[in-house]
Amino acid sequence: MGEVINLRLARKQRARAEAAVRADQNRRMFGRTAAEKAAEAAVKARVDGTLDGAWLDSPTSGDRSE
């Protein structure tokens, strides 16, 4: 005879395996490490600071279209 298995546990194991595959796909598509996020934030801050410092007059009304 074959091995007796608990169907509830088998379903849970299959669901866990499918969730792990889905999580791996999401990590590959959307995931970034904390170091990558910090590096991007540092570059953005540097660029924003450079652009803000390049204004000839400081805007008084907050409108920079002049």
pLDDT tens-digit readout, 48-58: 988 887 777 76
Give me the pLDDT at residue 55, please.
Answer: 74
Give me the pLDDT at residue 59, please.
Answer: 62
Q: Average pLDDT, stretch 19-27?
A: 95
Q: How many residues does the chain have?
A: 66
Give me the pLDDT at residue 30, please.
Answer: 87
Q: Please give the C-alpha separations between residue 60 and each of 11, 38, 56, 63, 64, in angstroms, as whole numbers.
A: 64, 32, 12, 8, 9
Give the C-alpha separation, 16 to 9, whole Å: 10
Q: Is the pLDDT of residue 61 over 70?
A: no
